[in-house]
Amino acid sequence: MNLRFVRFIDTYAGIPLMYGASLLQRLRKKRPVTGAPQTPAKILCVKFWGVGNLFMMLPAVEALKRQYPQASIDLLTLRTSRDAATATKMFDTLHTIDNETLPTFLASTVRSLADIRRLAYDVIIDFEQFAKFSALLCSLTGAGETIGFDTADQRRHFLYSKTVAYDNTVHITRSYFSLAVAAGATCDADELLRSFRWMPSIRPLTRSIRERLDLPDGRQFIAMHVGTSDNFKERRWPAEYYAALADLLVSRHQMIVVLTGLPEEAPLAARVLRAVQRTDGVLDASGRLGFNEFLALLAESELVISSDTAPVHMASAMGVPVVGLYGPNTPRLYGPWRQSGLACTRSLACSPCITNFNAKTHDCRHPDGKGACMASLLPDEVYLAVKEKYLDRPAETRTDPCLV
């Protein structure tokens, strides 16, 4: 289903549905909810939108694992996020909802809800900040305790047994961590975010993959992710800018640049490749790697450069130095979340124009045209920032504690 349509329905149809669910809860006769046990045996995390958000959840999930090492920690997410969730190896069981069409959405929702009720979770934690749908589902699960965000003007807080005030001024990793604290986690946020490093259970890039990509053994390379999925394409940096930055990195530092992107973003990577002058040092891997292969590529990169999208947070989770390029969105909430990361942004008077409060579906109305903020972030400026933070410094100084 179209993402804008889904969010429109969630925003407007969700309000009467939530009030209806709340009224039914009050009217029907049932035994009082006693709350979760002090040491829950089954915990369900709920997160639908955004692969990058799954990776920003990982420190919070780690906090839960440290607090309740014997507990089963499961996840309810969208089918499109299944590969990413499986790759994290952080969840015991995955429940998925297929939102490709309305019939598959309804059928998979009913099936998942039945499975969740049958498993009788002690605690369910909803990591969505705004979605009414997730709050509705949590209210229907019969769980001992449900925890979610009390987000201003969203009218969803009364469907949880415990809420955390959503703070739209702090990085999302910290917001997610506050939910783990509400569930009983006692570790220190600063300590965990400083020390956390997710190590994926994936094989290194094999010789066959390197040969397929024409990537020489033993050569350092920079991964350059040129797409941003279909959600607000104005987050993309212009193709010719990526080409200019790649030329600077190849010609001045003898780096290999590997272009990455989803299969549907291969034409965008092809545009970058046509615009580069140093074709001997730029390789195109877009649409040619499975999810685990893509993770392996990021893990072995000297540096990841990406617009505001999931690879920023994958690299952050792995402790790989990453440069995020921002304009419509704010790096204050969604930037790289380690000090070894770097956010480059050009904040115009209208920035940020996509926020959690408009469901990130705003239409760019800048007088210079769509994507003006990204177009004003010039390749030379990004190159100088990259050179100063990474290329002029010894490698051992690039893995600083996180700063979010």
* pLDDT tens sequence for the chain (404 residues): 545 545 555 554 545 555 555 555 554 444 444 455 578 999 999 999 889 999 999 999 999 999 999 999 999 999 999 999 999 999 999 999 998 888 999 999 999 999 999 999 999 999 998 888 899 899 889 888 999 999 887 778 888 999 999 998 999 999 999 999 999 999 998 888 888 888 777 777 888 888 889 898 878 899 999 998 776 678 899 999 999 999 999 999 999 999 999 999 999 999 999 999 999 999 999 999 999 999 999 999 999 999 999 999 999 999 999 999 998 888 899 999 887 899 999 877 667 766 655 555 566 666 666 678 899 999 999 999 999 999 887 655 544 433 34
- Residues 392, 81: Cα–Cα separation, whole Å: 37
CATH classification (class only), 14-195:
alpha beta
- Beta pairing, strands 145-150 & 256-260: unpaired
Is residue 317 within 8 A of residue 128, CB to CB? The reply is no
What is the C-alpha to C-alpha distance for residues 196 and 277, in angstroms, rounded to an integer?
39
The distance of Cα 205 from the centroid of its chain, to the nearest Å, equals: 23
Contact indicator for 163, 149 with CB cutoff of 8 Å: yes
Question: Residue 139 in contact with residue 21, Cβ under 8 Å?
Answer: yes
CB 256 within 8 A of CB 281: yes
Beta strands in 21-116 (DSSP E): 42-46, 72-78, 94-97
Under 8 Å between Cβ of 223 and 297: yes
C-alpha distances in Å from residue 85, one per residue of 187, 201, 383: 24, 12, 33
For the sheet containing 282-284, what is the strand order? 282-284, 256-260, 221-225, 303-307, 322-326, 341-345
Determine which helix (DSSP H) or strand (DSSP E) holds 259, and give its type and residue range: strand 256-260
What is the DSSP annotation of 118-135?
HHT-SEEEE--SS-HHHH
Residue 401: predicted pLDDT: 36
Residue 73 is encoded by which pair of tokens?
Answer: 């920690």
Distance CA 329, CA 317 (A): 20
DSSP structure class, residue 357: G
Q: What does the alpha-carbon distance between residue 168 and residue 7 come to, in Å, rounded to a whole number?
A: 19
- In the chain the first and final C-alpha atoms are separated, in Å, by 34
Check if 14-195 and 208-392 are the same fold: yes
* Cβ neighbour number for residue 193 with a 10 Å cutoff: 22
Distance CA 302, CA 320 (A): 7
Q: How far apart are CA 109 and CA 115, in angstroms?
A: 10
Which of 356, 381, 363 is CA-nearest to residue 234?
363
Q: What is the per-residue pLDDT for 33?
A: 47
The DSSP bridge partners found for residue 344 are 325
Contact between 36 and 122 under an 8 Å Cβ cutoff? The reply is yes
CATH dotted code for 208-392: 3.40.50.2000
Residues 194, 400: Cα–Cα separation, whole Å: 9
User: How much is the pTM?
Assistant: 0.86
The single-letter DSSP state of residue 146 is E
Specify the DSSP class assigned to residue 387: I
Residues 130 and 145: their CA atoms lie apart, in Å, by 19
What angle (nearest 5°) sits at the alpha carbon of residue 220, between those of residues 216 and 224?
100
Which residue type sits at 80?
Answer: T
> Can you give the pLDDT at residue 355?
64
Under 8 Å between Cβ of 130 and 137: no
Q: Give the Cα separation of 90 and 62 in Å (integer).
A: 8
Per-residue CA distances from 338 to 193, 196, 251, 350, 390 (Å) = 8, 10, 28, 27, 14
Tokens for 280, please give them.
């001997």
Given this model, what pLDDT does residue 400 score?
Answer: 41
Domain boundaries, given as residue ranges, for the chain:
14-195, 208-392
